[in-house]
Structure 1
Amino acid sequence: MSAYSLGSLLHEGKAKRVHATDQPDLVAVEFKDDATAFNALKTAQLVGKGELNCQISALLFELLARQGIPTHYLGLGEGEHGGHWMLVRPVRIVPIEVVIRNLAAGSLCRQMPIEAGTPLEPPLLDLYYKDDGLADPLLTEARLQHLGLLDSSQRQELERLAREVNAALQEVLASVGLILVDFKIELGFTADGQLVVADEISPDTCRLWDRGIADSDDRILDKDRFRRDLGGVVEAYGQVLKRLQGVCPQPEVYR
């Protein structure tokens, strides 16, 4: 018998559905097989993608927790809610995407005179306003202050957490032969006001290269395979999961 019952659908995004449960301090997240790019101008169904992202996110959230980095994650689902379901604490998401870049790639190389693959030291941290209708614009310091989304101490905490996440992810991914080029995370406030890492951490949200492959296309193990029509998206995500399973404990099931 499950420790919870599903309630109403609270929110549906491009990659996940968020459901209420019969417990006010518990939310169920369903990872979908939908693949989207360019603000959903490009879409597809990739069977198995949702489960892979859920399992990878679970491993990485538990890794962060072991290093003292707070997240909304509570455990994986079981039974009919197994595989692509995750149980989390409800949070009030801050409408800011936090992006950390360790190497230059993607949009940064289109916006700045910098060659792809150039190391960024220290890693570049960018904040974007999360709004598909506005195409997630880059936030300047003045724009952030004008929107009033965070006070100065919350801003400092957000950036501190993001850099701690970067260090933790770089270490574990390097141990399995992967380069963390860049990634984006979302954060949210719990009911008691704690700022925690939320959403997901997966090849959908991280740019990952195989350290042992020189070819600029073949080394890609992330969503860029879908963006650039390289094929093998699910296979690449599966390879990331298999490598992480080799160094991370099996994720907990919520009970």
Structure 2
Amino acid sequence: MDLIYRGKTKDVYRNEDGDTVLYFKDDMTGKDGVFDPGENQVGLTVEGSGEAGLKMTSFFFEKFNAENIPTHYIDADAEAREMRVKEISVFGEGLEVICRYRAVGSFIRRYGDYIEEGGELPAYVETTLKDDERGDPLINEAALEALGILQPGEYKKVVDLTVKISGLIKDELAQKGLELYDIKLEFGRDLKTGEILLIDELSGGNMRVFKAGEAVDPLKIGEYLFSE
């Protein structure tokens, strides 16, 4: 396969059939060896995390495709750590969308004077630009439109999809006694149709999950999810 892009946690390839293939690495975001989905750097490498992440990702994407929620997912080979996806274009240089149900991480660092750690939030959605040099800055709807990153009306579509998708994941985890505190999603446009699609991955590395008030290791989330 031909390498297109080397990312922090995934590499992007073009296979011999011309399909786009994501390869899931064992690298995870964090700092000083501690996992943090909000960090914009690789903080640790954990053997088996790539396969675990892809297994969880394909589980959710297949559910969403079956429910006609637009995604870039085609199919996956968990053992090979490869996921075949539709060809897409990203918003600008990349846009991350976070849905928050509890005040933790960067949210509490910014707004800690107004809410206690772990305080409940009503599926609060915020957007950040993928920009390592500037620390993935927050950006609002007006700025996204002014800069031409989103077209008028697209922000609402992204937010509505984020709330719907996050809610489905939250409910799925709740069935296993897990509580979703926050989750980071990404969206793009289908190059053929222009439709807004859910892209990237849906793994433990993209979310904070707690059980009985204790943080769940991202690799353990899948074990709970797939347990009988």
Q: Is the 8 A contact 2:141 2:155 kept in 1?
A: no
Aligned to 2:34: none
Tell me the SS of whatever aligns to 2:160: helix
- Write out aligned runs for 1:88-103 (5 A): 88-94=85-91, 95-103=94-102
| Structure 1 stretches of at least 4 aligned residues deviating more than 6 Å after TM superposition | none
Q: TM-score, normalised by structure 1?
A: 0.79
Tell me the SS of whatever aligns to 1:152: coil
Aligned to 1:87: 84
Identity of aligned residues (%): 29
Tell me the SS of whatever aligns to 1:151: coil
Q: TM-score, normalised by structure 2?
A: 0.88
Q: Is the 8 A contact 1:55 1:83 kept in 2?
A: no
RMSD: 1.7
> Aligned pair 1:245/2:226, yes or no?
yes
Aligned to 2:154: 154
Tell me the SS of whatever aligns to 1:17: strand
Tell me the SS of whatever aligns to 2:69: coil
Tell me the SS of whatever aligns to 1:204: helix
Matched residue type, 2:97? V
- Write out aligned runs for 1:25-174 (5 A): 26-37=19-30, 38-40=39-41, 43-77=43-77, 82-94=79-91, 95-112=94-111, 113=113, 114-121=115-122, 123-174=123-174
Larger-Rg structure: 1
Matched residue type, 1:16? K
CA distance in 1, matches of 2:80, 2:101: 31
Matched residue type, 2:106? S
Q: What is the total number of aligned residue pairs between the two structures?
A: 215
Structure 1 unaligned residues grouped into runs of 5+:
1-6, 223-235, 248-255
Offset of 1:143 from its aligned partner?
Answer: 2.1
CA distance in 1, matches of 2:178, 2:60: 14
CA distance in 2, matches of 1:162, 1:14: 23
CA distance in 2, matches of 1:56, 1:220: 18
Offset of 1:178 from its aligned partner?
Answer: 0.9
Tell me the SS of whatever aligns to 1:196: strand
Aligned to 1:208: 209
Q: Is the 8 A contact 2:9 2:26 kept in 1?
A: yes
Matched residue type, 1:34? D
Offset of 1:189 from its aligned partner?
Answer: 0.8
Deviations 1:55-100 (A, max 9, x none): 111111112222221111111127xxx3421111121122211111
Aligned to 1:194: 195
Matched residue type, 2:4? L
Aligned to 2:177: 177
Q: Is the 8 A contact 1:9 1:20 kept in 2?
A: yes
Q: Is the 8 A contact 1:72 1:88 kept in 2?
A: yes
Matched residue type, 2:199? A
Offset of 1:129 from its aligned partner?
Answer: 1.1
Aligned to 2:33: none
Offset of 1:43 from its aligned partner?
Answer: 2.7
Aligned to 1:233: none
